[in-house]
Amino acid sequence: MRAVIVFAHGSRDPLWRQPVQAVAQAIAARDPSCTVRCAYLELCEPTLAQAVDELVAHGATDIRVLPLFFGMGKHAREDLPALMRDLDHAMTLVEATVAAVSVPVTLKMRLGWDDASRNAPQLARRAEAAGVQLVTVHGRTRCQFYTGRADWRAIAEVREAVSIPLIANGDVATRSDCDEILRQSGADAVMVGRAAQGQPWLPGTLAGRDSAPKSVGELKDLITDHYQAMLSHYGIDTGVRHARKHLSWYVSRFAAGAPIEMKARIMTGTEPSDVLAAIGEAFSNFAALSLPATTIRAAA
């Protein structure tokens, strides 16, 4: 069972119950297959620990915590990497999570907020002291978004700061990228992100498995199976919506030459049979134009 805990942090005002519950209701409405609970750090029950205990008792095996920050000035209006501008605030969430659960807690971060405040080593060191079991670092600052190149050498400063396992992330798309990011960062493992969009077999390929499709026909079958698996997992109404970003990545990467009307049928269709028919047409008639063998076997 998958579950999300909407976790209110940073305010003692009980009036914040209403927006927290509104967020939880919105998540539940968007994804009925997911169990959603609210939890509070400072204002009232249930606490994070109580919410986790309840979910585990009901069989939850995948629990995500969505923190909402109130009473934190500018942090309340910015996204979560803004926490790296105030490590004390960040650590209150880390410490509360570690204290609340009996399973290992991991932490993912960027190098810092901007180039003037690359404080990932300090946050990682404090997180390890608080009980975090593994750290992942993306080699850019928050202000970079995804511009420029990830700074793999900068991740090495985090390696020097902690003894727990370290995963390096950012701009990894080939086997040589894996080798180089590990060499420069000293990390124990690699996380692949955007490079796997539209080619979900890529991590397996980079790990040495012969997992890439060998023909356009195999690719079309893989996309069809992926789509049907999402419908089975989420239910049709939710699955159709969740699948659209994956279909968009497949089409952009391998069938960019398909007519706009055909792409619209794939991206906006609500009837699975119509979407599957459009996928079949797009990848039977247009994928060969943008799918050379070297792309099918990328990073092999």
Whole-number pLDDT of residue 34: 77
Helix then strand then coil, % of the chain, to nearest 5: 55, 15, 30
Of residues 66 and 300, more confidently modeled: 66
Per-residue pLDDT, averaged over 157-176, amounts to: 97
Q: Looking at the structure, tell me whether residues 56 and 100 fall in a common domain.
A: no
Check whether 80 has a pLDDT greater than 50: yes
Give the global pTM.
0.74
Q: Which of 71, 101, 116 is the last residue of a domain?
A: 71
Whole-number pLDDT of residue 273: 96
Sequence letter at residue 130: A
Whole-number pLDDT of residue 221: 95
Residue 273 dihedral angles phi and psi, to the nearest 5°: -65, -35
Residue 228 falls inside a structural domain? yes
Residue 209 falls inside a structural domain? no
pLDDT > 90 in the chain, percent: 53
Of residues 189 and 29, more confidently modeled: 189
Of residues 179 and 3, more confidently modeled: 179
Q: Looking at the structure, tell me whether residues 79 and 160 fall in a common domain.
A: yes
Residue 291 falls inside a structural domain? yes
Q: Pull the structure tokens for residue 108.
A: 């993912």
Whole-number pLDDT of residue 159: 98
Residue 206 falls inside a structural domain? no
Per-residue pLDDT, averaged over 269-279, amounts to: 96
Q: Looking at the structure, tell me whether residues 57 and 99 fall in a common domain.
A: no
67 touches 78 (CB < 8 A): no
Residue 200 falls inside a structural domain? no
Of residues 58 and 260, more confidently modeled: 260
Q: Looking at the structure, tell me whether residues 42 and 57 fall in a common domain.
A: yes
Q: Half-sphere exposure of 289 toward its Cβ, with a 13 Å CA cutoff? A: 12
Q: Which of 33, 49, 71 is the last residue of a domain?
A: 71
Q: Looking at the structure, tell me whether residues 104 and 85 fall in a common domain.
A: yes
Check whether 67 has a pLDDT greater than 50: yes
Of residues 21 and 136, more confidently modeled: 136
Check whether 33 has a pLDDT greater than 90: no
- Reported as a single tens digit per residue, the pLDDT across 93-127 is 788 778 877 778 899 999 999 999 999 999 999 99
Domain that holds residue 2: 1-71
Per-residue pLDDT, averaged over 234-243, amounts to: 90
Q: Looking at the structure, tell me whether residues 49 and 83 fall in a common domain.
A: no
In the chain, the number of structural domains is: 3
Residue 205 falls inside a structural domain? no
Q: Looking at the structure, tell me whether residues 27 and 96 fall in a common domain.
A: no
Residue 199 falls inside a structural domain? no
Least confident of 79-83, 237-241, 249-253: 79-83
Q: Looking at the structure, tell me whether residues 135 and 37 fall in a common domain.
A: no
DSSP state of 207: T
Per-residue pLDDT, averaged over 253-280, amounts to: 95
185 touches 159 (CB < 8 A): yes
Residue 203 falls inside a structural domain? no
Per-residue pLDDT, averaged over 249-272, amounts to: 94
Q: Looking at the structure, tell me whether residues 124 and 154 fall in a common domain.
A: yes
Q: Looking at the structure, tell me whether residues 149 and 82 fall in a common domain.
A: yes
Per-residue pLDDT, averaged over 273-284, amounts to: 95
CATH number of the domain enclosing 12: 3.40.50.1400
Q: What is the mean pLDDT of the chain?
A: 83
Whole-number pLDDT of residue 29: 78
pLDDT tier for residue 210 given thresholds of 50, 70 and 90: confident
Whole-number pLDDT of residue 287: 83
Q: Looking at the structure, tell me whether residues 1 and 59 fall in a common domain.
A: yes
Q: Looking at the structure, tell me whether residues 57 and 24 fall in a common domain.
A: yes
Residue 236 dihedral angles phi and psi, to the nearest 5°: -65, -50
Check whether 205 has a pLDDT greater than 80: yes
What is the C-alpha to C-alpha distance for residues 84 and 91, in angstroms, rounded to an integer? 10
Dihedral sign, Cα of residue 244, residue 245, residue 247, residue 252: positive
Q: Half-sphere exposure of 187 toward its Cβ, with a 13 Å CA cutoff? A: 26
What is the C-alpha to C-alpha distance for residues 30 and 296, in angstroms, rounded to an integer? 34
